[in-house]
Structure 1
Amino acid sequence: MDTLRDLPVLPAGDYVLRRWELTDLAVVEEAAQDPYIPLVNTVPARYTRDAGIAFVERQWGRPASGLYPFAIARAVDGRAVGHAGLRALGPDRASVGYWVAPPGRRAGAAAAALRAITAWGHGELAVARLELHVEPWNTGSQRTAESCGYQREGLMRDWMRVGGELRDAFMYTALRTPR
Structure 2
Amino acid sequence: MTGQHLHVQPATTISAEGGLRLTAPVDDDRPDIVAACRDPETQRYTRVPSPYGDADAVGFIHACRAGAEAGSSLGLVVRDTSGRLLGSCGLVDIDWLDGRASLGYWVAPWARGQGVATRAARAVCRWAFSDAHLERVELEAIASNAASNAVAARLGFILEGTLRAAARGRGTDAPSRLDVNVWGLLPGDLRCATR
**TM-score, normalised by the number of residues in structure 2:** 0.79
State the partner residue of 2:141: 134
Correspondences of 1:74-153 after superposition (within 5 Å): 74=80, 76-90=81-95, 91=97, 92-153=99-160
Supply the distance in 2 between the matched residues of 1:54 and 1:6 (Cα, whole angstroms): 15
Supply the distance in 2 between the matched residues of 1:7 and 1:119 (Cα, whole angstroms): 17
Work out the number of aligned pairs and report it.
176
Supply the distance in 2 between the matched residues of 1:130 and 1:147 (Cα, whole angstroms): 15
Supply the distance in 2 between the matched residues of 1:125 and 1:136 (Cα, whole angstroms): 29
Q: Which runs of 5+ in 2 are unaligned?
A: 171-175, 190-195
Deviations along 1:127-176, whole A, 9 cap, x unmatched?
1111011111111111111111111111122434555x653211111102
For residue 107 of structure 1, report the CA deviation from its aligned partner: 1.1
**TM-score, normalised by the number of residues in structure 1:** 0.86
Answer 1 or 2: which has greater strand percent: 1
State the partner residue of 2:185: 174
Question: Contact 2:143–2:178 at 8 Å: present in 1 too?
Answer: no
> Following superposition, which runs of at least 4 residues in structure 1 exceed 6 angstroms of deviation?
none
Residue identity over aligned pairs, in percent, reads 24
Q: Which amino acid aligns with 1:170?
A: N
Question: Contact 1:67–1:87 at 8 Å: present in 2 too?
Answer: yes
Supply the distance in 1 between the matched residues of 2:112 and 2:66 (Cα, whole angstroms): 28
Work out which of the residue numbers 25, 35, 38 in structure 1 matches 2:30: 25
Supply the distance in 1 between the matched residues of 2:169 and 2:86 (Cα, whole angstroms): 22
Question: Contact 1:131–1:171 at 8 Å: present in 2 too?
Answer: yes
State the partner residue of 1:72: 78
Supply the distance in 2 between the matched residues of 1:28 and 1:43 (Cα, whole angstroms): 12
Deviates more, 1:59-68 or 1:79-88: 59-68
Deviates more, 1:132-141 or 1:88-97: 88-97
Q: CA RMSD in A?
A: 2.3
Q: Which amino acid aligns with 1:30?
A: A
Supply the distance in 1 between the matched residues of 2:52 and 2:6 (Cα, whole angstroms): 35
Work out which of the residue numbers 49, 52, 66 in structure 2 matches 1:46: 52
For residue 67 of structure 1, report the CA deviation from its aligned partner: 1.3
For residue 109 of structure 1, report the CA deviation from its aligned partner: 0.8
For residue 47 of structure 1, report the CA deviation from its aligned partner: 2.4
